């Protein structure tokens, strides 16, 4: 590659940092947009439209930074910019990237395809950990590669700061998940064969189904009693009652008794359940 | 969105769900308007108490620290003439309720005895329970507390019904 004679390829660490910075700015924009919409339309409206507001804020952020031809704040922060075939990335490609951000909005309608999208982005991450360059799948497809505009040009451009071992771990996890999934599919096939073989089993199968449905319901209907949402990082108090970690910790700082049974509650006795 | 807003939104969804029946004594329990979940109104008809003929209106004010701090609940006693509703009784003689301001003296609604697992519905139910379990030893309405202490049922009932519309 020609430009590598004049410029360093951006280090993987710099790319990650740029992305994280951008992410935090997007969050910032999102919370501002949320507050504004809440002011006009009420909290219930915001709750319903959370998904598209999240994507809208990302688009707004990218349009006002990348869209007008400058760098995003994250890229500026670590001083990296795009190159492609010795030229700067044109406005058209940038806009295409921004438009691509809207795709997740339709992910729920696409159904199965959304799953493949997730898999694809995971594969992309593995490639990134091994070879650097493209942290984002959209950028990989559009060939938007970063160079660092600061620092001395090193002679061998192999020093891109790879996270080989992280990549390996991720790859191992993915293959393992794949194996489990394949096994499940094989099992289901076998079950189907058995079902077709004797229809007498059908009734039993039905009752089994009901049972599993009940247990699923039970799971979703035991929320944390403090925030009334589903349990997040479940934590048990000394008396055995379970709440969200953040909820119960907040309460424990104020009062030293279990919200349910008023048994003594010490913050240091809270047990995070895994 | 703060934790208080999230939790209040959950409660709002629960109470506005037609499949979920509130207690028979609670006629309605809603925010004053959709944009502000920190200000609610409840209308009760405490059918299982000596106040069973009356409809009472309660104002519920919440802070951003809810549910770590209790809601501030009062009987509405000083509604302006314009907003007054013919059905609602604005005077409630009860030894633990201030007759003028509608302030309620109930230990579980004080910060030391409050528990965050109680929802707005439970808090209202606790108040309805208080209506039949007067505590004359810590009165806000001393005259009525004396009647309770004397256990003069005729006087108690006639005073209550005198104010009910």
- Please check whether residue B7 is in contact with residue A246, taking contact to mean a CB–CB distance below 8 angstroms: no
Confidence band of B109 (pLDDT split at 50, 70, 90): very high
Confidence grade of residue A4 (pLDDT, cut at 50, 70, 90): low
Query: Which of B87, B76, B163 minimizes the C-alpha distance to B127?
Result: B76
**R_g over Cα of chain B:** 16
A102 pLDDT more than 70: yes
Note the pLDDT of residue A68.
78
Give me the pLDDT at residue A196, please: 62
Which pair of tokens denotes residue A227? 């925030």
**Interhelix angle A164-197/A201-220, nearest 10 degrees:** 140
Nearest-CA distance from B2 to chain A in Å? 11
Strands B72-75 and B56-61: antiparallel
Indicate yes or no: CB of A251 within 8 angstroms of CB of B68. yes
CA-closest candidate to residue B42, choices B87, B20, B66, B73: B73
Round to whole Å and give the CA distance between B49 and B53. 9
> Which chain B residues are Cβ-neighbours of A248 within 8 angstroms?
none
B chain contacts of residue A38, beta-carbon cutoff 8 Å: 35
Average pLDDT over residues B102-127: 92
Place B125 in a pLDDT band, splitting at 50, 70 and 90. Answer: very high
- The predicted model gives A159-188 an average pLDDT of 84
**Rounded Cα distance, A181 and A189, in Å:** 12
- The yes-or-no verdict on residue A206 having pLDDT over 90 is no
What chain B holds in terms of domains, given with CATH numbers, is 3-163 (3.10.110.10)
Question: Are the beta carbons of A45 and A37 closer than 8 angstroms?
Answer: yes
The answer to whether the beta carbons of residues A16 and A10 sit under 8 Å apart is no
Is the minimum CB–CB distance between B35 and chain A shorter than 8 Å? yes
Domains in chain A and their CATH numbers? 8-161 (no CATH), 212-274 (3.30.40.10)
Residue A251, min C-alpha distance to chain B (Å): 6
Phi, psi of B91 (to 5 degrees): -120, 130
Q: Distance (Å, rounded) from C-alpha B111 to C-alpha A211?
A: 43
Q: Could you give the C-alpha distances from B84 to B30, B56, B144, in angstroms and in order?
A: 18, 12, 25
Would you say A269 and A238 are in contact if contact means Cβ atoms under 8 Å apart? Answer: yes
Q: In whole angstroms, how far apart are CA B98 and each of B92, B142, B151, B159? A: 8, 9, 20, 15
- Residue B85: both structure tokens together: 């509703």
pLDDT digits (tens, 9 = 90+) for A62-74: 888 887 777 888 8
**Residue among B41, B105, B108, B159 flagged as catalytic:** B105
Contact residues, chain A, for B16 at CB < 8 Å: none
pLDDT at A151: 60
Across the range A214-243, mean pLDDT stands at 75
Would the CB atoms of A226 and B34 count as touching at under 8 Å? no
Q: Is B32 on the interface with A (CB under 8 A)?
A: no
**Residues with Cβ within 8 Å of residue A113, at least 6 apart in sequence:** A107
For chain A, the distance separating the N- and C-terminal CA atoms, rounded to the nearest angstrom, is: 49
Residue of chain A whose Cα is closest to the Cα of B68: A251
Question: Distances from the Cα of B40 to the Cαs of A239, B29, B59, in angstroms?
Answer: 34, 7, 6
* Residues from A in contact with B at Cβ < 8 Å: 34, 38-39, 42-44, 46-47, 225-229, 247, 250-251, 254, 259-260, 262
- Three-state SS string over chain A comes to CCHHHCCEECCHHHHHHHHHHHHHHHHHHHHHHHHHHHHHHCHHHHHHCHHHHHHHHHHHHHHHHHHCCCCCHHHHHHCEEEEECCECCCHHHHHHHHHHCCHHHHHHHHCHHHHHHHHHHHHHHHHHHHHCCCCCHHHHHHCCEEEECCCCCCCCCCCCCCCHHHHHHHHHHHHHHHHHHHHHHHHHHHHHHHHHHCCCHHHHHHHHHHHHHHHHHHHHCCCCCCCCCCCCCEEECCCCCEEEHHHHHHHHHHCCECCCCCCECCHHHCEECC
Q: Active site includes B105? A: yes
Task: Give per-residue pLDDT as tens, A31-54.
Answer: 999 889 888 887 778 877 888 888
Closest chain B CA to residue A262: B115
Among A208-222, B88-102, B106-120, the range scoring the smallest mean pLDDT is A208-222
pLDDT band at A214 (very low <50, low <70, confident <90, very high): very low
- The string of pLDDT tens digits covering residues B35-75 is 888 999 999 999 889 998 889 999 999 999 888 999 999 99
Q: What is the pLDDT of residues A117-147, one digit of tens each?
A: 778 888 888 888 888 778 888 888 777 778 7
Q: Residue B43 gets which letter from DSSP? A: E
Q: How many CA atoms lie within 13 A of B11 on its CB side?
A: 26
């Amino acid at each position: 590659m020609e430009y590598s004679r004049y410029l360093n390829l951006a280090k993987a660490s710099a790319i990650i940092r740029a992305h994280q910075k951008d992410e935090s700015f997007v969050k910032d924009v999102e919370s501002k947009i949320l507050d504004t919409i809440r002011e006009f339309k009420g909290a219930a409206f915001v709750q319903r439209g959370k998904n598209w507001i999240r994507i809208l804020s990302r688009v707004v952020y990218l349009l006002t930074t990348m869209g007008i031809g400058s760098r995003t704040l994250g890229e500026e922060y670590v001083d990296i910019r795009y190159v492609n075939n010795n030229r700067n990335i044109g406005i058209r490609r940038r806009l295409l990237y921004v438009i691509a951000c809207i795709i997740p909005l339709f992910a729920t309608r696409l159904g199965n395809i959304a799953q493949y999208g997730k898999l694809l982005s995971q594969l992309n991450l593995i490639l990134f950990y091994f070879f650097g360059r493209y942290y984002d799948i959209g950028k990989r497809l559009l060939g938007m590669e970063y160079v660092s505009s600061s620092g001395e040009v090193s002679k061998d451009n192999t020093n891109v700061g790879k996270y080989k071992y992280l990549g390996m771990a991720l790859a191992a996890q993915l293959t393992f998940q794949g194996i489990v999934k394949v096994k499940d599919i094989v099992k289901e096939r076998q079950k189907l064969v058995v079902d077709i073989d004797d229809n007498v089993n059908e009734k039993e199968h039905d009752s089994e189904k009901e049972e599993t449905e009940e247990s699923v319901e039970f799971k979703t209907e035991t929320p944390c009693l403090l925030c009334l949402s589903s349990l997040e990082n479940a934590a048990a108090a000394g008396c055995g009652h379970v709440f969200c970690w953040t909820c119960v910790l907040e309460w424990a700082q104020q009062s030293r008794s279990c919200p349910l049974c008023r048994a003594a509650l010490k913050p240091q006795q809270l047990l995070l359940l895994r | 969105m703060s934790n208080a807003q999230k939790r209040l939104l959950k409660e709002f969804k629960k109470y506005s769900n037609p499949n979920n029946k509130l207690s028979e004594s609670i006629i309605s329990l809603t925010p004053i308007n959709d944009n502000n979940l920190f200000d609610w109104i409840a209308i009760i008809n405490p059918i299982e108490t000596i106040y069973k003929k009356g409809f009472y209106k309660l104002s519920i004010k919440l802070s951003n620290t809810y549910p770590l701090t209790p809601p501030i609940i009062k009987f509405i006693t000083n509604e302006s003439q314009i907003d007054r509703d013919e059905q609602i009784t604005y005077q409630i003689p009860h030894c633990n309720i201030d007759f003028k301001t509608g302030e309620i003296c109930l230990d579980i609604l004080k910060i030391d005895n409050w528990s965050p697992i109680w929802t707005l519905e439970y808090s209202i139910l606790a108040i309805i329970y208080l209506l039949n379990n007067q505590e004359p030893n810590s009165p806000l309405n001393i005259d009525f507390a004396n009647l309770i202490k004397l256990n003069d049922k005729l006087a108690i009932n006639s005073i209550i019904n005198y104010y009910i519309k």
